[in-house]
Amino acid sequence: MKHVDSTQVQNRMGTRLLINKLAKSIFFLSTIFGLIVLVILMYRVLSQGVEWIDWQFITGKLSTMAENAGVMGPLLGTFWLMLVVAPVTLILGVGTAIYLEEYAKKNRLQSLIQTNISNLAGVPSIVFGLLGLTVFVKGMNLGNIILAGGLTMSLLVLPIVVVASQEAIRAVPQYLREASYGMGATKWQTVKNVVMPASLPGILTGSILALSRAIGETAPLVVLGIPALIIPFPDNIFDKFTVMPLQIYYWTIDSALVDEYANLAAAAIVILLLLLFAMNSIAVIIRNKFQKRL
Amino acid sequence: MSTMTGKDKKFTEVAQNKENDTTINTSNKTVFETKDLNLWYGEDHALKDINLKIPENQVTAIIGPSGCGKSTFIKTLNRMVEMVPIVKVSGSIAYRDKRIFDPRYRVEELRTQVGMVFQKPNPFPKSIYDNIAYGPRIHGIKNKKVLDQIVEKSLRGAAIWDEVKDRLNENAYGLSGGQQQRICIARCLAIEPDVILMDEPTSALDPISTLKVEELVQELKKDYSIIIVTHNMQQAARISDKTAFFLNGEVVEFSDTNELFSNPEDKRTEDYITGRFG
């Protein structure tokens, strides 16, 4: 006796195929939703801001007069901030990752540290702002200068760099390490010559994404008490500064007073998005380039 | 007999407890001698009272069914087994006149004398040249001329020089599996070891590449002592001088290969080599 009744199979076929199509549509709509939001966002920002973007806007100094304002100050602020954040997070983040993956024994202490780092990645950025205010601005009496802001941002993105680097290091096949140890290499020689080169693309990708997160963050710097208007360009890490997202924030809340500030904010958003887009593209290019090699 | 964990310190404690002297008298015809070697992965007793003398300049094959401890055994000889964190070892292993668990004999030094070729070809994602030069470089050789000589000698030694001499700067991943494995053998030769451990070196290779590696092993035994793990009994019979049959972590029989295959003493050996199990 047959268990599969072919007429029943025939009868059910229509419903099954219908559900199949339905599932596909739901998934497609989910995908398109994000795209629609992005298009609306881009449209609003571009229609408000693109006319305001000119050479004067990019290279000029900040000003209370909307038509005279330029964003070179915040751009330089962002640049100097990254000059602090990049080395600090790379050295501390990659160092931590190497220690945890290659040296630390897999015991309870290690798993405690691991859990803590993962939890830190989930701490709201404003809390890091408070930490920065307490430790760097007040505690070390640095004031709200680039160094203090950079160290605060470093703490914020450090967990991201650590976790991304750990994943990259873990992805290095064990047999490559064995080959190195098998020839009498020390741990450091193995890390330096085998593990690091093989995990570098992953580490760089993660770090660039973390940096672009730091570039976009606003809340911690608000807490540090960065003033709303800083006209002189910063030219070292001990200068006062402002950054792009913060300037966008101030222009937006002041647009109630001066209508044109909304346009300035939109124009600044366009430039910030271009910057972030460029950085993310670099991360993708690095990943693709090195993936082929391994 | 006390047990110990995989950490160097503990390892050496036992070694010291058992013997107060670093050196022991082994005839210069023996490269490795194990005494009452026991090994545990956690609770799993993987090697039981192994007492073996591995001869110099011969090919010693280790055969046995999967999970019998044959890979564990050769990984213990260069202490690679310690990469598994839960390993415990007791007993002693002498490499020539050195006790390998003695703290004064560093593991890096041991692995320079005792090279290893792994089951799956594992070249580095570097050029062929850099693969071979890796070992000499980590041991401090920087002179380009010397490195060039080592690379050529090693590649010739592994019978792959003619195939790769025009593409030394190409990535080793571009080679076939069989070529990659001979690159790994060449890489091992480049540190000029005394003993070469081979852990099923042909199990991932096609028959023709396997044949080439087997021929190479025959060549290499003139200059090196070779210990090869294989699950292929024909291979053991073809290429080895001595054969040890492992079963459930014990050495059932260890004798001349011809003897072991034609006239096994133990019933279990006979059953295994005639294909009744395994």
Q: What percent of chain A has pLDDT over 70?
A: 98
Q: Which pLDDT score, from 0 to 100, does residue A287 have? A: 80
Q: Which fold has domain A56-290?
A: MetI-like fold (1.10.3720)
Query: Which residues on B lie below 8 Å from A191 (Cβ)?
Result: none
Would you state the pLDDT for residue B21?
A: 43
> Taking residues A229-241, what's their average pLDDT?
84
Average pLDDT over residues A230-253: 88
What pLDDT digit, counting tens, does each position of B103-130 carry? 899 999 999 999 999 999 999 999 999 9
CB contact under 8 A, B134 and A180: yes
Tokens of B119: 């089951």
Mean pLDDT calculated for residue range B261-266:
91
What is the pLDDT averaged over residues B258-269? 92
Over range B249-267, report the average pLDDT: 93
pLDDT tens per residue, range B48-80: 999 999 999 999 999 999 889 999 999 999 999
With a cut of 50, say whether residue B1 has pLDDT above it: no
Kind of pairing, strands B242-247 and B250-256?
antiparallel
pLDDT of res. A255: 87
pLDDT, tens digit, 9 for 90 and up, residues A152-201: 999 999 999 999 999 999 999 999 999 999 999 999 999 999 999 999 98
Percent of chain A with pLDDT over 90: 55
A90 vs B20: which has the higher pLDDT: A90
Q: How many CB atoms lie within 10 A of CB A110?
A: 15
User: Do B80 and A182 lie within an 8 Å CB cutoff?
Assistant: yes
Give the pLDDT of residue A293.
54
Contact (CB<8Å) A194/B85: no
User: Are the C-beta atoms of B178 and B231 separated by less than 8 Å?
Assistant: no
Q: Please tell me the predicted confidence (pLDDT) of residue B28.
A: 52
Q: What does the angle CA A145 – CA A148 – CA A150 come to, to the nearest 5 degrees?
A: 105
What pLDDT score does B14 carry?
A: 45
- Whether chain A has a CB inside 8 Å of the CB on B140: the answer is no
Confidence of residue B5 (pLDDT cuts 50, 70, 90): very low
Q: What is the average pLDDT across A214-229?
A: 87
Owner of token pair 């071979």: B132
Structure-block tokens of residue A142: 């640095």
Please check whether residue B83 touches A, CB under 8 A.
Answer: yes
In the numeric block, which tokens belong to residue B138?
């980590």
- Chosen for mutation from B87, B130, B134, B169 (greatest number of chain A CBs closer than 10 Å) is B134
Residues A221-227 have a mean pLDDT of 86
Report the pLDDT value the prediction gives residue A30, as an integer from 0 to 100.
Answer: 95
* pLDDT given for residue B50 in this prediction: 94
- Residue B278 has a pLDDT of 58
| Stretch 68-127 of chain A: residues touching chain B, C-beta under 8 Å | 105-106
Does B136 reach chain A within 8 Å, measured CB to CB?
no
B118 to A181: CB separation less than 8 angstroms, yes or no: no
pLDDT digits (tens, 9 = 90+) for A30-83: 999 999 999 999 999 998 888 888 888 888 888 877 778 888 889 999 999 999
**Residue B26 CB-half CA count within 13 A:** 23
Q: What is the mean pLDDT of chain A?
A: 90
Contact B232, B38 (CB under 8 A): no
- In this model, does residue A276 exceed pLDDT 60? yes
Given a cut of 60, is residue B9 above it in pLDDT?
Answer: no
Given a contact cutoff of 8 angstroms between Cβ atoms, the answer to whether B48 and B38 are in contact is yes
Looking at the predicted structure, is the pLDDT value of residue B4 above 60?
no
Report in angstroms the alpha-carbon separations of B174 from A281, B171, B177: 29, 6, 9
Mean pLDDT of chain B, nearest integer: 88
Residue B25's pLDDT band (boundaries 50, 70, 90)?
very low
**What whole-number distance in Å separates Cα of residue A164 and Cα of residue B192?**
39
Residue-level pLDDT at B26: 42
CB contact under 8 A, A178 and B118: yes
pLDDT higher than threshold 50 for residue B23: no
CA distance B74 to chain A (A): 12
Q: How far is A171 from chain B (nearest CA, A)?
A: 14
Q: Cβ atoms within 10 A of the Cβ of B29, count?
A: 11
Q: Does residue A6 surpass a pLDDT of 90?
A: no
The Cα-based distances of B239 to A117, A203, B242 in angstroms read 53, 46, 9
Say what percent of chain B tops pLDDT 90. 76
Q: Chain B residues with CB inside 8 Å of A105's CB?
A: 85
Average pLDDT of the residues in A134-151? 90
Q: What is the mean pLDDT of residues B200-206?
A: 89
Say how many CB pairs under 8 Å bridge A and B. 66
Nearest to A166 by CA among A88, A113, A108, A109: A113
